[in-house]
Structure 1
């Protein structure tokens, strides 16, 4: 896929998850048709249709295998130009099972939202694979799907998987189906356009969440609508550009801004970090440890958090040990940092922060959550309700 950004011709890629989904769909189709398929069309969530060549198609009765080659576009990573295979075996169980084979890593530690011992495949990718296969085989049949990547273990050495407790291969964790190559300025401008659109519609209150590139993830939309009982129409993605998006909220005249999302991402703001990409700042555990210490946590507790591999593991440990009050303290510091950054603005919005765990459990807020929601859902001067 070719697009233009700042007069430069750039290529979009597609994720390992979309390759696994496409390969599984092809394999299922080949079984039913008993015919080799050499090309598949894949329509992404952005409405773009890809025509992808099928690698190594093979049919063996009620089992078939197919592969799709990954493509990172202009954002090349360790999995670029790598074959992702799917082996599908039909049965009469009515149930679709999905697992990882050769080259797909296994979860060895808690903290990634996946069970220890399972294949490192994000639930969104699993859902996409299951939906693609079910669409082909119908409701009555069942299927066993195995995703594998012969080069996976070697390629994984160039990733952070080992640090995250993923061993034996790559992870299929992309929650998007395409990779968007954009300059930082183009990316920020695209995010700001979403804010401008919502402000034009009369919204004076906005929820900002980390998002999924340019949009909220499906999990974040559910979080806003189910956990906060607010329409996702009142929410926008800020990606890693927290400071920029807050400045845009000031420019556009929003009265109330609520930062909502995974504490593992938002905790950085409590340290005054307003660009949250891990390449810029990777200090979540340090922030947690500093604030736990201020609350009087013993050294043994601080050391245990320091030894955690991921922020999610640290959060689980903090809750288990009964120190959840640290999240309220961090939420308050997030708002203090925001107010400091915006201290010279004449129309500074009210800012709140609501922290959730990776699986959308409430952790803490800077003030009572009911007060935040009451202020947010109050009828605005423009007559727009949440």
Structure 2
């Protein structure tokens, strides 16, 4: 497993890479009677990893292989999951047909890059598996006409901790990956889920979506505007991902909802709101207060505040609308990223209890 030289963290492998390796091993066994172990695959960017088989079985109808996913040092929900592929012979001329096994979801809503009714195996993993089936067929004299059933042990339970139910992917996980490599803390799957959430909302004809930093702000936005579940985007810290994707794929109205701390960072121009990657600037908050006519004592109190909530409480005691100022600043940042896209933006700022403390 390789390490990122800048962080020292181990890279991992996507579910798509694991499914490709399992498919390669199973089809090789189907044609030759022997499972390659470890099994090597070819990934984009000239990577050629090998995977040890955790499970293997063969019967008169087909062969199955399983690989335990190693996500490296990324906090991936599927780290340690058993990803398996069962390969059986298909009808002549059918090519590679994909099936959802246990723990792999099925698409039930339009807007995703897969048709309704298809197993939730994304396009790039499908292409990788198809390419490897073709290569195995050429090496061992097969036709390449196969049915590949991918499964993930415990996938239905794991999927409840992902966006899948909201995206209309039911019954399990999605098989994901573009390069086959999991970069630690890149959160690429979260950002991809944000994009797919916007796609699903657009396909459903939604004209108002809400990007929310957490479950409390999501509840507030839903109650405030009566939004359906598929109009709610679990934005987390990735405000930039929401705004940049809406710039290219607009929805008429966007509400950004979140806590005072995260939205204070957005107001200052930060698009990644994670505490490790951006910090609240109390000097910037103090400047907002000063420009809006706050007295010198309040300005200095905000400048010396311990937290954004502390600054908010000081302003509230003085009857000063810091939440509204933060909301207006966050809206300006959002509009700047949207670059004139036809998206009307409003911002809702809440405190930890879920009380609305600012609108803009």
Query: By how many angstroms is 1:167 displaced?
Result: 2.4
Please give the secondary structure, in 2, of the residue aligned with 1:9. coil
2:157 and 2:41 map into 1 onto residues whose CA distance is: 28
Contact 1:94 1:143 in 2 (8 A): no
Give the conservation status (yes or no) of the 8 Å contact 1:338–1:351.
no
* 1:307 to 2:228 alignment: yes
| Contact preservation (8 Å) 2:24, 2:39 | no
Deviation at 1:282, TM superposition (A): 8.4
Residues 282 and 61 from structure 1, CA distance in 2 versus in 1: closer, same or farther, beyond 3 angstroms? farther
Residue pair 2:57, 2:65 contacting (<8 A) in 1 also: yes
Conserved? CA contact 1:164–1:310, under 8 Å: no
For 1:155, the equivalent position in structure 2 comes to: 158
Given the two structures, how large is their TM-score scaled by the length of structure 2? 0.54
Instruction: Indicate if the aligned counterparts of 2:18 and 2:83 stay in contact, CA closer than 8 A.
Output: yes
Counterpart of 1:207 in structure 2 is none
Kept in 1, the 8 Å contact 2:121–2:176? The answer is yes
Separation (CA, whole Å) in 1 of partners of 2:163 and 2:196: 20
- Is 1:164 aligned to residue 85 of structure 2? no
Unaligned runs of 5+ in 2: 202-209, 234-248, 255-328, 345-360
Counterpart residue number, 1:47: 46
Match of 2:57 in 1: 58
Provide Cα deviations, 1:130-188, integer angstroms capped at 9, x if missing partner.
Answer: 2221222248441111101232122223323223332222221333311012589xxxx
Change (3 A) 1:18 1:93: same
5 Å-filtered alignment, 1:1-386, equals 1-6=1-6, 8-61=7-60, 63-95=62-94, 96-138=96-138, 140-181=143-184, 264=198, 303=226, 306-310=227-231, 327=251, 352=339
Between Structure 1 and Structure 2, how many residues are aligned? 245
- Asked whether the equivalents of residues 103 and 156 of structure 2 are also in contact (C-alpha less than 8 Å), the reply is yes
Residue pair 1:2, 1:9 contacting (<8 A) in 2 also:
no
Instruction: Measure the CA separation in 2 of the matches of 1:170 and 1:80.
Output: 13
Structure 1, unpaired ranges of 5+: 185-211, 218-239, 241-260, 268-272, 291-301, 313-324, 331-336, 343-348, 355-363, 367-386
| 1:358 counterpart residue number | none
Deviation sequence 1:47-105 (CA, Å, 0-9, x none) = 23322101212222451110111111111222111111101112451222111111112
- Equivalent residue for 1:191? none
CA distance in 2, matches of 1:101, 1:72: 21
Question: How many Å apart are 1:280 and its aligned residue?
Answer: 11
Q: Deviations over 1:282-303 (max 9, x none)?
A: 88xx79xx9xxxxxxxxxxx75
Query: What residue number does 2:320 align with?
Result: none
TM-score, length of structure 1 as denominator length: 0.50
- The structure-2 alpha-carbon separation of the partners of 1:51 and 1:263, relative to structure 1 and needing over 3 Å to count, comes to closer
For the pair shown, the structure with the greater C-alpha radius of gyration is 2
The CA distance in 2 between the partners of 1:263 and 1:108, in whole Å, is 13
Decide whether the 8 Å contact of 1:98 with 1:144 is kept in 2.
yes
8 Å Cα contact 1:107-1:116 kept in structure 2: yes
What SS does the aligned partner of 1:130 have?
A: helix
Matched position secondary structure for 2:3: strand
